[in-house]
Amino acid sequence: MHTVPTNRSRPPMWPIYLCVAVTALGIGIVNPLIPRLLEQNGASEFIVGLTTSVMFASLALTALPIGRNIDRIGIRPFLLVGLLSYCVAMVLMPWAHRIGYFFILRAFEGLGWSAVWTAAETYVSQVSPPERRGHNTAVYGMSLAMGTAAGPMIGTGLWHLGEAVPFFVATGLAIGAGLIVLLVVPEPRLHHTEHAHSVSFSISRTVLLPLLIAFLYGYGTLSLIALVPTLSYTPFRIGLLITLTVIANIVAQVPVGRMVDRFGYRPVLLASLTLLCAAALLAAVQPPFSIILVLGALLGAFAGTLYPIGLAILAARVPPQQLGGANGTFTVAYGLGSVFGPALTGYMMTAVGPSHSDQALFGTIGCLVFLLLLAMLGGLDHVTVEEHAAGAKSSSETFKPPL
């Protein structure tokens, strides 16, 4: 049985939320601009897409060893290593004029994301009390979404001041996040008895559901981000659709997280999957654009909440001393979905031809959600497992900054 620390001794959550939001803002600033740099250096659309795949492949390949070492070494070192790796990529990218350098720098970017996300998610999972897991993981998801959504507008404006300016701003934001980690974020401490009996995390049926959720989230969201701009609508309509989808994603996070805490994950997840499946399949029949806007908002709202729900389930089913490895595996599943989603869905859109490409995009996502829904109804989540209480506390009975 794991002892739950009192609220007074529990490390604060806001520094991690702020760190994640600042980092996501930097990512959002530069991500739409990297393809421009590549095209200016003679890269084709295939090369642009391939560098993105390299970045997500780097994330997927490094997340598991990072997670396992978080369990051994601690969270703060990997937050700092991730931010440093990201800074290296951002500082050098404007000066890279050979395509090969971009592949290397995007690999460093993926490593940075992997370390920051895995460490931050482990922190949130370790210090969240059971009755607030859904809320805390939802606020984490909202922090990511808000930073990423606000970035492109800022980055486009900064681009006009100079091609290197957005990358320097992103680097400055990452440095600011590093200062937050150094000055404010404490290292959660697990009880000595938990360390003594700790073993490496291994995949089992008890964590299959959250890993499938992570894969589906990566597959669906990256497919939509990459391929919605190719739909047969005017640029204004595509921009409006993306804006409403992002707003709905941000707004839905915390209410859905609180419902998870109140009603449990299963009814909320079943409802989210049902609405998400219905919205995607209805969008595939090409209704009027006004209906597409409503369906896009539903897609954004309920797709965005899958990730924090998956994190909350994972935290409840994995012992606190194994959460680093578990969150690393969760990030791997998300990375694999992000790598395969745009490529496979884009291939299907090409195979059916321009007249049916919209149906292929929404239909593929809707069918995958439907399969997960069927698996849940068939007993995928019916596992016997003791839910674990949060086992982390600060190094003293009252919180003190690390420096």
CATH number at residue 170: 1.20.1250.20
- Residue 365 lies in domain: 202-383
Q: Does 396 reside within a domain?
A: no
- Which residue in the block uniquely carries the two structure tokens 């998300």? 334
Which of 158, 188, 218 terminates a domain? The answer is 188
How many residues does this entry show for the chain?
403
140 and 218 in one domain? Answer: no
Do 258 and 296 lie in a common domain?
yes
| pLDDT tens track, the chain, 403 positions | 344 444 445 677 888 988 888 888 888 888 888 888 888 888 876 787 788 888 888 988 999 999 999 988 999 999 999 999 999 999 999 998 888 898 999 999 999 989 999 999 999 988 888 888 899 999 998 988 888 888 888 888 888 898 899 999 999 999 999 999 998 888 886 644 444 445 567 677 888 999 999 999 989 888 888 788 778 788 888 888 888 888 898 899 999 999 999 999 999 999 999 999 999 999 998 899 999 999 999 998 888 889 889 999 998 888 888 888 999 999 999 989 988 888 888 888 888 888 888 888 899 999 999 999 999 988 887 766 555 555 555 444 344 444 4
Alpha-carbon distance of 293 to 283, in angstroms, equals: 9
Is residue 355 domain-resident? yes
Nearest to 388 by CA among 310, 311, 320, 308: 320
Give a yes or no: residue 392 inside a domain.
no
Q: What is the residue whose two structure tokens read 């990256």?
A: 222
Kindly state whether residues 212 and 322 are assigned to the same domain: yes
Q: Domain check: are 184 and 207 in the same one?
A: no
Which pTM was predicted? 0.83
Q: 227 and 366, same structural domain?
A: yes
Q: Are residues 211 and 346 in the same domain?
A: yes
Q: Are residues 210 and 175 in the same domain?
A: no
Give residue for tokens 């395969």. 340
In a domain, 166, yes or no: yes
For the chain, what is the domain count? 2
Q: Same domain for 232 and 166?
A: no
In a domain, 132, yes or no: yes
Both 157 and 218 in a single domain?
Answer: no
For 257, residues 6+ apart whose C-beta sits below 8 A from its C-beta are 134, 135, 136, 137, 138, 139, 141, 305, 308, 309, 312
Q: Per the domain annotation, does 4 fall within a domain?
A: no
Does 167 share its domain with 226? no
